[in-house]
Amino acid sequence: MSLPAGGGFIARVWPCRQRLWGGIQPDNGIPRARSRSEGLHLALACWAAFSCGPLFAGQYDYGGGYSLAHDSNITRTPSPQPEWTNALFAGIAYEEHTIDVNARFLAQGEQRYYVRNVFQDDFSAYLNGAAIWTMSPQLSWFVEENFREVRVDLTQPDVPTNRTEISSFNTGPDLTVRFDSVNAAEIGGRYERFDIRGPGDSKRLFGRARLIHRVSPYTTLSANYEAARIYFEDAATYPQVLRMDGFLRLEMRQLPHALTLDIGTSRVIRPGAPELDGRLGRVSFSRQLTPESTLSASYLSQYSDTFTDSLRGIANPMFPGDSAIVPGADVVTGDLYYLQRGEIDFLSGAPGARFGYSLRGYARKVDYLTQPLDFNDWGTWLDLGWRPSVMTRVYFVGRYSRRTFLDFVQTDIDSTRTAGVTYALNRNMNLSFEASRTSHSSTIPSGDYVDWRGVLLLGYSTGPLYSAQSRR
C-alpha cells in the first residue's frame, strides 16, 4: 500500500517502511525471534530528518548526548555487582499541523557500553508517533506506531537481560458520512501488527462503526461497535481470537470540564474454548481547577492486551503536549487479559513555571486468559520541580508500588526515590546530575535488593520538541 504524493509527512516517509527492514540486533541474553520492525524506526527517523528536511511542512528538532552512570547493584540481586555504564544516544522529534496533515513523532537510538562487562554492550531504539492525513472532509487516514523496550518476566528484576523490544503498528482509514448538522455515521478499518522479539507476534484486522448524535455544541452521544480478528503466528500457544465490543459513549467537553463515558459489553471467541463475555466500562474526567492546576480521574474495565495498551501510550497528533496513558500491564505477552484499572491525578504548575508538582495514585487488576500470571497492584507517584533560576532546574521523583500475584504466593514491593539538577550551559547544551535509590522487597527467598545509582549527562538539543534524555 502506498500513499499518493502531496499527502504531507506520511506520504513522504511511508515508502521507506518497505525498504528499511533489518538493522542492529542486540544480544542481551534474551532469545530473539526475527522481528519485522528491527532497525526500521531509527533509520526512518534519520532519513526523514537529514535527507528530506527541506520538504517538511512542520517543525523538527534533533539532538543527542552522552551519559556516564554508576550502579551499586546493576544486576539487582541480593549479591550486589557494581558497574559503570557509558551511553551515547541521538534522536529527532517532529510536528506538523496543517490543513491536511497532523503528525507527531519522536525517534531515538541509544548505544550502551558496560565497563566491567556485567552485561553485554547493546543498542536499543525508541519510536512514538502518530499521523492523520485528511484527504477530504469525509475521509482520513491514520498511522500509529510505538516501538520500545518492555519487561519480559514480571516476577524477575527489571534488568537488560529481562527486556525485549516490541512494535505496535496501526494504520487505516476513517470515513464519515453526515446526514445533517447533528447526525453522522463513521466507519473505520485498521490493519495492525504486533511484533515481539520472542513468541507472541500477531497481525490483526480491525473494524468499527459509529452512529453519532450531537446533543449540543459541547455534548455528543454515540452508539459504537468494534470487532478485531487476531491472527497469532504461534497458533499452538495462542489460538486465533475474535473480539467484539459494543458500547454507548457520552462525551462532554466544556471548559473547565471534560468527560468521556463508555458503557457496553465485550465478547471474546476462541476456537475450542468457551466464549467469554465481560463488561466494558470506561470513564475519564478532568477539571481545570485554576489556570495552572488540573484534576483528572479515570477508570476502565475491559478485555485488553499488550498491543492495545501500547497504543494508549502513543502521542496524540492533534494535541501537542498530550500526556501518554500508563499501560494496563507493564510486561510483554501475546495473551489477552481482563483489565480493571482506576487512577486519579493532580497536576499543578504550567510548563516553565518556577515551581510545579504532580501526584498520581492508581490501582489495577489483571486477569490473563491462559497464563498463570494474574495480579493485583497499586501505586503512587510524586513529581516535584523547582526552578531557582532560568538556567537551573531541580527535581525530585518518588515511585511506590505493591504487586500481589494471585496464581502463586508472591508479593513484591518496589520503591524508587530520585533527585536531580539540570543546568543549561547555553541555549542548546544541558548538563545534569541525578542520584536515585531503588529498593525491592519480595516474599520469595532471596528476592530483596537495593541499587544506588548516579548519572551524569551532557545533552544537546536544537529546540523544545526534543529533550536529550535516555528513553529505555
CATH of the domain at 45: 2.40.170
Residue 466 domain-assigned (yes or no): no
Residue 1 domain-assigned (yes or no): no
Contacts of 291 (CB under 8 A, 6+ apart): 350
- β-partners of residue 337 are 304, 368
Q: Is the dihedral of CA 85, 323, 156, 231 positive or negative?
A: negative
Residue 191 domain-assigned (yes or no): yes
- β-partners of residue 130 are 104, 144
Q: Is 138 helix (H, G, I), strand (E, B) or coil?
A: coil
**What pTM, to 2 d.p., does this model score?**
0.81
Pair type for strands 449-461 and 410-424: unpaired
Lookup result for grid cell 479515570: 298
Residue 401 domain-assigned (yes or no): yes
Q: Are 341 and 362 in contact (CB under 8 A)?
A: yes
Residue 110 domain-assigned (yes or no): yes
Got the DSSP string for 430-453? Answer: EEEEEEEEEEEEESSTT--EEEEE
Q: Which residues of 187-197 are buried (b: 16+ CB within 10 A; e: fewer)?
A: ebebebbbbbb
Q: In this structure, how many other beta carbons lie within 10 angstroms of the beta carbon of residue 414?
A: 18
Residue 188 domain-assigned (yes or no): yes
Residue 471 domain-assigned (yes or no): no
Q: How many domains are there within the chain? A: 1
Rg (CA), the chain: 23
Per-residue pLDDT of the chain (472 residues; tens, 9 = 90+): 333 333 333 333 333 333 333 333 333 433 343 344 444 444 344 444 433 444 457 899 999 999 999 999 999 999 999 999 999 999 999 999 999 999 998 999 999 999 999 999 999 999 999 999 999 999 999 999 989 888 888 888 889 999 888 888 999 999 999 999 999 999 999 999 988 887 778 899 999 999 999 999 999 999 999 999 988 887 666 668 899 999 999 999 988 999 999 999 999 888 877 888 889 999 999 999 998 899 999 999 998 877 777 766 665 554 443 333 344 556 667 678 899 999 999 999 876 788 999 999 999 999 988 888 899 999 999 999 999 998 999 999 999 999 999 999 999 999 999 999 999 999 999 999 999 999 999 998 888 999 999 999 999 999 999 999 998 8
| Cα–Cα dist 386/384, whole Å | 7
Inter-CA distances, 225 with 169, 171, 193, 246, 281, Å? 21, 18, 21, 4, 14
Residue 441 domain-assigned (yes or no): yes
Report residue 401 CA to chain centroid gap: 19
Q: Residue 372 has which C-alpha cell?
A: 498463570
Inter-CA distances, 221 with 140, 166, 244, 423, Å? 21, 35, 20, 49
List the domain range (segments joined by +) for residue 370: 9-461
